[in-house]
C-alpha cells in the first residue's frame, strides 16, 4: 500500500484501531498469556479480570440481570441469538427485512428448517414498518430479531416500543436486537429497551476485529452454538480471547470517558455540515438517512444516474474511502436498495458515508468537491 | 531401498529427430514445477525418475507433476537391488509389502492379479515370464489373490534395469498428457476473469503453447478487486501454463470514446476490435505469434460468426479459440477440474459488462462497423492504452 493521506469515510464497515487499544492488546498478549482456565494464580487473576470487564460492559450498556458472553464478533452473536434460543418446531419468527446478513441468512436457514419465518418490510429510512410488525404478532411467535440501528441508513428502530408491543401480543417470545451499529454511537440502555438479547462488536468502535459480545437476559433459555471446554459458563466454549477482551474494554473506556455516545456534537456537526455542503453543491441527490432518529455517524445518499460502486472507485483515486452498504456487488444486489423505494435513476447510486471522531471538519470541502468533479464525468457516460 | 517417482512421457515418444528438443523442454518444466521441493532427477531410457525427495511431500509432488503437460503417467515405485543370485530377495520383499497393502485395502471377494515383468538386464538367464511366475509366488503366499492374466484387479510391475536395480510398483497415475509447454510457440491470451478464458489457457498449454496474458481494466468502472481476481486466476493456471506473465491494459478512455461517439448497437463489436488491436501490438512486443480467446460459438452476441469475423479483421495475428465448440457445461466442468471455477464466479464487474447496450448487434455488418469507427482516433487511442499497460 502506498503512503498517502487517506480520508476514511467507511467507519460503519470497520474503524481504525486506536493506539491505546492496540497497546492494551499487545500488553495483554505479551504478559497475560496464561490460559484463564488453568489453576495457577496468574490464570485466576486473568479470569477475575475477564469477570470485571464483563461487568463493566454490562454497566456501560445498563444491562439488567443476565449474562454478557464474549463471542468472536457480531456475526457469532447474531447466529447464537437466532439458532440457540428455545423455539417450538414450526413456530413463527419475525425478522426485519433490512437486517444485516448475519441475521438475515440465519433467518433464511431457519425458514428452510421449517420455521414460519416472516420478514417485516422496512421504510425509506431503513427502520421497520411498525404497523406491519404488529400485524405479524401472535401467540405462536417464538423469536423476534430487529436491529437497533440500520447499518445501511443509520435509522434507529424504536426498540422499546416494539418490545412492549411484542411482549403484549406474544408473551413467550424472545426479543433480540442487533446493536452492532448502535452501541457507542447512541446511548444504549438495555433495561429501558427491554430486549432479551443484544449483540455488540468491538471493531465498530475502534477496537480490534474478532471480538464481540452477546447479552442474554436472565431467564431466557439458550443452548450454545459451540461446545467444548465449557468456558463462558458453557455458553461459548473456546479459550477466552483475553487480549481482544482487554482491547474491547479499552475501546469502550475511551467512549465512556469522552462521552462519545451521549455527547456526539462533533460527529453530528460533521455530518450536518457534510450534508449541507453536498446538497448545496450536488443536485438531484436523495438523502436517505433521517436527520433525527438516526445514529450520528452515518449518512446514506442516493446519487442520480451513477452506480454507487463506480463512484466509490472514483473517490478511491483521491484517497477517499466510502461504503456502498453491506451486500455490495452488481450480482448480489443489496436487498436493501430494492426496498428503499427509490426511482430507477437513483436506485443504483446509493453510497454510505460513515464518520468517526477521528474525521476532521476540514476534509469536508475537499470530499464534496471531489464528488462533484467525478459526478460530472460519470453522469456524462451513464449506462444506455 | 529407495522410494522414487517414475515419470513416463506420451506423445513425445513419437517424435523423431526433434525428440531431444521436446525432452529438454519437458525436463525443464518438470524441474520448475517442483522447484519448491528438494529432489534428485535422473533420466532413464524413455522415462524420468524423481528420487531423494521428502516422503512427506510425496502427494504434493505428484499433484504438481500431474499438471505438467507432456507427462503421460506416473508411478510411485520402490527402487531395490535386483539380487538375482539371491532369489530376487530385494524385489520379493518390496513385492510382498505392496501385495499385502493391496490385500488389506481390497474389499472384493476373490481378487485377482497379474505380474508383469520387464527384463532389460539380459545378464539374467531367466526369461521375463519365468521371472513373473517365480515372483508371483510371493503374492500368492502372502495374500488370498489368485492369478488371472487377462481380467485382473491388481497388476504388479517389476522393471529390471541393466544397472542392477529394479523398480517395483503397482499403481499407474495418469498425467495431463499433451505436449510440453513451450514447444508450440507463444500466444497472447485475452484473460477476462470469467469462466472461459482460464480454460482456454489450459487448453492451449496442453498443446504446448507458452502464453502471455492480457487483461483489460476500466477503472473506476471496474474495481481493483477485479484485477486482483484475474491475477489469482493466472496464479491457478500457472501450474499448467508454466508461468504466464499478466499485463493489464487501461481501457476506460477507449470505452468512453466509443460510448460517446459510436452507435450503441456496435459498442461491443468496436470495443472488441480495440482489444484485438491492442493485444496484437502487445503480442508482437512480447514475441507472441498468435492470440488466444475463450470464445465459444453463439454463447453471447459478440461470439457469433459475424461478430468474430468483424473483430478478427483487426487482429494482425491468427486467433485461436480452443473452446469454440464447447458447451458452457463442458467449459464449467473443465474449470472445476483445473480449479479456476470458484475464483471465476466471484462477482466483480469486468470491462465488458459496463455500458452494456440493451440490444447489441448479433450480426454486425463489417462495413457499418468500420463506418461507425471512423469517428475515433484509433491509432492514438491504441497507442495510449499500450503505453499505460503494466505488468502484474
Residue A99: which CATH number? 3.40.640.10
**Would you please indicate which residues of A are annotated as catalytic (active-site) residues?**
328
Verify that A100 and A184 share a domain, yes or no.
Answer: yes
How many domains would you assign to chain B?
A: 2
Residue B115 is placed in which grid cell?
505380474
DSSP letters for B320-376: E-TTTT--HHHHHHHHHHHT-HHHHTS----TTTTT--SS--SS--HHHHHHHHTTS
Residue A62 placed within a domain: yes
Verify that B230 and B149 share a domain, yes or no.
Answer: no
| Burial label, A33 (beta-carbon count in 10 A; 0-12, 13-18, 19+) | exposed
Verify that B192 and B299 share a domain, yes or no.
Answer: yes
CB proximity B263 to A under 8 Å: no
From B154, B174, B194, give the residue that closes a domain.
B174
Verify that A112 and A164 share a domain, yes or no.
Answer: yes
CB neighbours of A254 closer than 8 A, spacing ≥ 6? Answer: A18, A20, A21, A206, A260
Residue A246 placed within a domain: yes
CATH code where residue B352 lies: 3.40.50.620
CB proximity B349 to A under 8 Å: yes
Chain B contacts of A314, Cβ < 8 Å? 220
From A217, A232, A257, give the residue that closes a domain.
A257
Verify that A171 and A299 share a domain, yes or no.
Answer: no
Q: Which helix (H) or strand (E) holds A27?
A: helix A19-31
Verify that A245 and A282 share a domain, yes or no.
Answer: no
Distances (CA, A) of B239 to A31, A371, B331, B339: 45, 44, 18, 10
What are A113-167's pLDDT values in tens digits? Answer: 999 999 999 998 899 999 999 999 999 999 999 999 999 999 999 999 999 999 9
Verify that B252 and B327 share a domain, yes or no.
Answer: yes
Chain A contacts of B259, Cβ < 8 Å? 381, 384
What are A181-236's pLDDT values in tens digits? Answer: 999 999 999 999 999 999 999 999 999 999 999 999 999 999 999 999 999 999 99
CATH code where residue A282 lies: 3.90.1150.10
- Residue A314 and residue B220: Cβ atoms within 8 Å? yes
Verify that B39 and B93 share a domain, yes or no.
Answer: yes
From A206, A232, A257, give the residue that closes a domain.
A257
Residue A114 placed within a domain: yes
Verify that A130 and A199 share a domain, yes or no.
Answer: yes
Verify that A252 and A269 share a domain, yes or no.
Answer: no
CB neighbours of B353 closer than 8 A, spacing ≥ 6? Answer: A330
Verify that B247 and B276 share a domain, yes or no.
Answer: yes
Give the number of A-B residue pairs with CB atoms closer than 8 Å: 38
Verify that B164 and B194 share a domain, yes or no.
Answer: no
Place of cell 451486500: A327
CB proximity B223 to A under 8 Å: yes
Residue B26 placed within a domain: yes
Verify that B161 and B272 share a domain, yes or no.
Answer: no
Q: Would you place residue A345 in the very low, low, confident or very high pLDDT band (cuts 50, 70, 90)?
A: confident
Q: What is the mean pLDDT of each run of 10 residues along chain B (392 residues)?
A: 91 82 94 94 89 92 95 95 91 93 87 94 93 94 93 94 92 93 95 94 96 93 88 94 95 91 88 95 96 92 86 92 96 95 82 69 85 92 96 93
Most A CBs within 10 A among B218, B220, B348, hence the mutation to make, goes to B220
Give me the pLDDT at residue A332, please.
Answer: 45
Residue B179 placed within a domain: no
How many domains would you assign to chain A?
A: 2
Domain that holds residue B337: 186-391
In this prediction, residues A307-330 reach a mean pLDDT of 80
Verify that B60 and B199 share a domain, yes or no.
Answer: no
Place of cell 500488553: A27
CB proximity A2 to B under 8 Å: no
Q: pTM for the complete prediction?
A: 0.81
Verify that B58 and B129 share a domain, yes or no.
Answer: yes
Torsion of the alpha carbons at B180, B182, B186 and B188, rounded to the nearest 10: 60
Q: How far is A356 from chain B (nearest CA, A)?
A: 25
Domain that holds residue A355: 7-16+264-380
Verify that A213 and A300 share a domain, yes or no.
Answer: no
Torsion of the alpha carbons at B336, B271, B322 and B224, rounded to the nearest 10: -30
Closest partner CB to A313 (pick from B223, B356, B357):
B223
Chain B contacts of A374, Cβ < 8 Å? 220
From A224, A257, A290, give the residue that closes a domain.
A257
Amino acid at each position: 500500500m502506498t503512503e498517502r493521506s487517506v480520508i476514511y469515510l467507511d467507519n460503519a464497515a470497520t474503524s481504525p484501531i486506536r493506539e491505546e487499544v492496540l497497546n492494551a492488546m499487545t500488553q495483554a498478549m505479551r504478559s497475560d498469556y496464561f490460559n484463564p482456565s488453568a489453576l495457577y494464580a496468574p490464570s485466576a487473576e486473568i479470569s477475575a479480570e475477564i469477570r470485571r470487564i464483563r461487568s463493566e460492559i454490562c454497566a456501560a450498556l445498563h444491562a439488567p440481570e443476565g449474562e454478557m458472553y464474549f463471542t468472536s464478533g457480531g456475526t457469532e452473536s447474531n447466529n447464537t441469538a437466532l439458532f440457540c434460543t428455545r423455539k417450538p418446531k414450526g413456530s413463527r419468527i419475525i425478522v426485519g427485512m433490512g437486517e444485516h446478513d448475519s441475521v438475515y441468512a440465519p433467518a433464511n436457514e431457519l425458514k428452510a428448517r421449517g420455521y414460519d419465518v416472516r420478514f417485516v418490510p422496512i421504510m425509506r429510512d431503513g427502520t421497520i414498518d411498525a404497523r406491519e410488525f404488529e400485524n405479524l404478532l401472535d401467540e405462536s411467535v417464538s423469536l423476534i430479531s430487529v436491529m437497533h440501528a440500520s447499518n445501511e441508513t443509520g435509522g434507529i428502530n424504536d426498540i422499546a416500543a416494539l418490545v412492549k408491543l411484542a411482549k403484549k401480543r406474544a408473551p413467550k417470545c424472545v426479543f433480540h436486537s442487533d446493536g452492532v451499529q448502535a452501541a457507542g454511537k447512541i446511548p444504549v440502555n438495555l433495561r429501558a429497551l427491554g430486549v432479551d438479547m443484544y449483540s455488540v462488536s468491538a471493531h465498530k468502535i475502534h477496537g480490534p476485529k474478532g471480538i464481540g459480545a452477546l447479552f442474554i437476559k436472565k431467564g431466557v433459555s439458550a443452548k450454545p452454538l459451540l461446545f467444548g471446554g465449557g468456558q463462558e459458563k458453557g455458553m461459548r466454549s473456546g479459550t477466552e480471547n483475553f487480549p481482544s477482551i482487554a482491547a474491547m474494554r479499552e475501546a469502550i473506556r475511551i467512549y465512556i470517558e469522552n462521552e462519545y455516545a451521549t455527547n456526539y456534537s462533533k460527529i453530528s456537526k460533521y455530518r450536518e455540515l457534510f450534508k449541507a455542503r453536498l446538497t448545496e453543491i450536488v443536485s438531484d441527490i436523495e438523502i436517505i438517512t433521517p436527520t433525527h432518529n438516526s445514529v450520528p455517524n452515518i449518512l446514506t445518499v442516493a446519487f442520480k444516474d451513477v452506480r454507487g460502486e463506480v463512484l466509490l472507485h472514483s473517490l478511491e483515486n483521491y484517497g477517499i474511502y466510502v461504503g456502498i452498504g453491506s451486500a455490495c456487488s452488481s450480482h448480489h444486489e443489496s436487498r436493501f436498495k430494492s426496498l428503499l423505494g427509490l426511482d430507477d435513476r437513483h436506485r443504483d447510486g446509493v453510497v454510505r458515508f460513515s464518520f468517526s471522531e477521528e474525521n476532521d471538519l476540514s476534509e469536508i470541502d475537499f470530499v464534496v468537491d471531489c464528488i462533484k468533479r467525478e459526478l460530472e464525468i460519470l453522469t456524462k457516460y451513464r449506462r444506455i | 531401498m529407495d522410494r522414487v517417482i517414475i515419470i513416463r512421457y506420451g506423445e513425445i515418444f513419437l517424435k523423431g529427430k526433434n525428440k531431444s528438443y521436446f525432452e529438454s523442454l519437458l525436463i525443464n518444466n518438470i524441474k520448475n514445477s517442483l522447484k519448491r521441493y528438494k529432489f534428485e532427477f535422473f533420466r532413464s531410457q524413455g522415462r524420468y525418475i524423481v528420487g531423494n525427495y521428502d516422503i512427506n511431500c510425496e502427494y504434493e509432488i505428484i499433484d504438481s507433476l500431474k499438471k505438467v503437460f507432456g507427462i503421460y503417467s506416473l508411478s510411485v515405485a520402490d527402487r531395490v537391488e535386483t539380487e538375482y543370485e539371491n532369489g530376487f530377495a530385494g524385489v520379493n520383499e518390496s513385492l510382498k509389502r505392496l501385495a499385502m497393502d493391496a490385500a488389506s485395502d481390497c474389499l472384493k471377494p476373490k481378487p485377482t492379479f497379474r505380474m508383469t515383468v520387464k527384463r532389460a538386464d539380459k545378464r539374467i538367464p531367466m526369461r521375463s515370464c519365468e521371472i513373473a511366475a517365480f515372483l508371483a509366488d510371493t503374492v500368492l503366499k502372502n495374500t488370498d489373490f489368485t492369478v488371472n492374466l487377462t481380467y485382473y484387479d491388481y497388476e504388479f510391475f517389476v522393471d529390471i534395469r541393466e544397472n542392477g536395480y529394479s523398480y517395483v510398483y503397482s499403481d499407474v497415475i495418469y498425467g495431463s498428457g499433451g505436449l510440453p509447454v513451450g514447444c508450440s510457440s507463444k500466444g497472447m491470451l485475452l484473460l477476462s476473469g470469467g469462466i472461459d478464458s482460464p480454460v482456454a489457457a489450459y487448453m492451449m498449454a496442453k498443446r504446448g503453447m507458452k502464453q502471455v496474458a492480457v487483461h483489460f481494466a476500466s477503472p473506476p468502472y471496474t474495481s481493483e478487486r477485479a484485477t486482483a481476481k484475474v491475477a489469482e486466476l493466472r496464479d491457478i493456471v500457472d501450474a499448467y501454463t508454466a508461468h504466464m506473465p499478466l499485463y493489464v491494459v487501461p481501457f476506460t478512455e477507449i470505452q468512453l470514446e466509443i460510448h460517446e461517439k459510436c452507435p450503441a448497437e456496435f459498442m461491443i463489436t468496436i470495443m472488441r476490435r480495440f482489444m484485438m488491436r491492442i493485444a496484437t501490438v502487445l503480442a508482437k512486443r512480447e514475441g507472441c505469434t498468435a492470440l488466444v480467446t475463450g470464445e465459444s460459438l453463439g454463447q453471447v452476441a459478440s461470439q457469433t460468426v459475424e461478430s468474430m469475423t468483424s473483430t478478427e479483421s483487426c487482429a494482425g495475428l491468427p486467433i485461436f479459440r480452443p473452446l469454440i465448440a464447447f458447451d458452457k457445461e463442458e467449459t464449467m466442468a473443465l474449470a472445476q477440474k483445473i480449479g479456476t471455477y470458484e475464483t471465476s464466479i466471484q462477482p466483480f464487474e469486468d470491462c465488458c459488462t459496463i455500458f452494456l447496450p440493451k440490444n447489441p448487434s448479433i450480426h454486425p455488418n463489417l462495413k457499418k462497423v468500420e463506418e461507425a469507427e471512423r469517428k475515433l482516433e484509433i491509432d492514438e487511442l491504441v497507442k495510449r492504452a499500450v503505453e499505460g499497460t503494466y505488468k502484474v
